[in-house]
Chain A
Amino acid sequence: MSDDYIYAVARVRARELALLGRQDIDQLMACRGFDECLRVLSDKGWGGGSGSSAEALLAAEEEKTWAFIRELTDDLTPFAVLLYPIDYNNIKAAVKCVVTDTQPQDVFLSGGSVDPAVMVRCVKENDFTALPPAMAQAADEAYHTLLQTGDGQLCDVILDRACLTDLLECGKGSKNELLAQYAEMRVAVADIKTAVRACRTGKSKAFIDEALAPCGTLDVSSLAAAACKSVEDIYGYLSATPYSGAAEKLKESYSAFEKWCDDQVMDLIKEQKRNPFTVGPLFAYVLARQNEISTVRIILSGKLNELDDGMIRERLREMYV
């Protein structure tokens, strides 16, 4: 029920005041070096305490976001579209670790909906019943494919496609327009990225067909056919879809395209600033925080590598506030 989130949305509204805005980003950009950036972030309350590394600081912020959401609601089902990519990444790592008989170390992402230890046990015992049904089926298929063919890329393709299909279903099933649109956008963008990469690396039509996940705004067979010909054919196909902007950015550079993808998500969630009900503003807050963390990561990495300010700025994402 939309009214179930009134308290949560009010808390999110108050928290949104602490989100980084354009001025904060300019302040970070004006810092003379990496250490000064870290100090400014620390003054703004980022990180878990003094003296933490950049990665620890960013991880702490991600953890704070999810801790806040868990405090607001016990039901994380609407956030599954954000958790599935973590889960599928972890199952991918679990399958590869078990098949190659390697001890999993620093390969799992935290914050997923399934414990990585459970995933490893499922793969080892070849019994995937502890996993959600769609994930279990994909994991089973990927595991046996990797065992039989030894082709890690094929294993990735099976799980990536299953992740996107699951994500799309989850968005549609949420009955929330924002979640459905976000899931659709994520799947379409992933398909475009896959098509471009496959085209540049000269993959076969069968591989591309296997890798692309069907979605509502793209015709994957046309995209696959274009990807088999040339990158220009992909641009041509995209120009007749709602992703014509993506084609323009891809022509510019891959980083411009990635920035475009993130900016599209920000455009999608901006409407939630005026919505005092539903789970939408909570979802938008998580995405806004992730966008903020990703922008700060770009600045920190630019400062660390002493990149030119112009080069960093052209990669900076639109902010939510």
Chain B
Amino acid sequence: MDISSLVFDWDQLGIVFALAGAVLAALMGGIGSAVGVGMTGQAAAGVVTEDPSQFGKVLILQLLPGTQGIYGLLIGFVTLTQIGILGGSADLSLAKGLLYLAACLPMAIVGMVSAKWQARASVSSISLVAKRPDQFGKAMIFPAMVETYAVLALLISILSITSIGGLSV
């Protein structure tokens, strides 16, 4: 019996870690957005119950925490393409797999946390619109500020994922 067949090839785990990264980005971003859009949806429904004419305004505010889920999906998709699961060869070293996992984490973690906090800001802004519909522009800005950090996380994740392929590890 060949002794080398008994030695575990750690590089086989590379693709597992890379896929875990893609899954986490889509999963955590999606969870954050689902919770966030659910919270803002309740507030929006409350306002529309009393004043149906506010539907358009509160709908926009409701959707703001939904972007993290889209960013997570984008990161997941780009990662799957880069690691060869969606076409190409899915042959990765352990180090590269871990690098992809690390690259996905900013979007996964920031996506989930920022979606929840953006939802809280959106709920507050929906209350603001309920009381002062003319202040919609200002009400939009407060939750949009939270979006900045989700976009920063998206950028760093995308830059990392697209650069890992060129590394010789």
Contacts and interface: CB of A to CB of B under 8 A. Distances in A.
A6 B39 contact: yes
Contacts of A15: 50
Interface string B25-67: 0000000000000010011111101110010000000000000
Contact of B42 (A7, A13, A14, A17): A7
B43 A7 contact: yes
Given A15-B50, A277-B123, A10 B131 contact: no
Interface in A1-27: 3, 6-11, 13-17
Which of B50, B51, B54 gathers most chain A CB within 10 Å?
B50
Interface in A271-310: 276-277
Contacts, number: 53
Interface secondary structure of B, over-half rule? helix
B127 A13 contact: yes
A276 B127 contact: yes
Interface string A261-279: 0000000000000001100
Contact of A14 (B51, B120, B123, B124): B51
Contacts of B150: none
A8 B123 contact: no
Interface residues of B, number: 18
Contacts of A7: 42-43, 45-46
A17 B132 CA distance: 9
A127 B127 CA distance: 48
Which of A10, A11, A13 gathers most chain B CB within 10 Å?
A10
A276 B123 contact: yes
A11 B47 contact: yes
A10 B39 contact: no
Interface residues of A, number: 14
Contacts of B42: 6-7, 10
B131 A17 contact: yes
Given A11-B46, A11-B49, A14-B47, A6 B131 contact: no
Interface secondary structure of A, over-half rule? helix
Contacts of B46: 6-11, 13-14
A16 B49 contact: no
B130 interface: yes
A71 to B, nearest CB: 10
Contacts of A17: 130-131
B51 A10 contact: no
Interface string B117-158: 000100110110011000000000000000000000000000
A226 B75 CA distance: 72
Contact of A276 (B43, B44, B45, B50): B43
Interface in A95-121: none
A14 B44 CA distance: 11
B24 to A, nearest CB: 25
Which of A13, A15, A16, A277 gathers most chain B CB within 10 Å?
A13
Nearest to B126: A10
Contacts of A10: 42-47, 123, 126-127, 130
Nearest to B35: A3
Interface of A: 3, 6-11, 13-17, 276-277
Given A14-B47, A277-B120, 16 more contacts: A6-B43, A6-B46, A10-B42, A10-B43, A10-B46, A11-B46, A11-B47, A13-B47, A13-B127, A13-B131, A14-B50, A14-B54, A15-B50, A276-B120, A276-B124, A276-B126
29 contacts: A6-B39, A6-B43, A7-B43, A7-B45, A7-B46, A9-B46, A9-B127, A10-B42, A10-B45, A10-B123, A10-B127, A10-B130, A11-B46, A11-B47, A11-B49, A13-B46, A13-B47, A13-B130, A14-B50, A14-B51, A14-B54, A14-B130, A14-B131, A15-B50, A17-B131, A276-B124, A276-B126, A276-B127, A277-B120
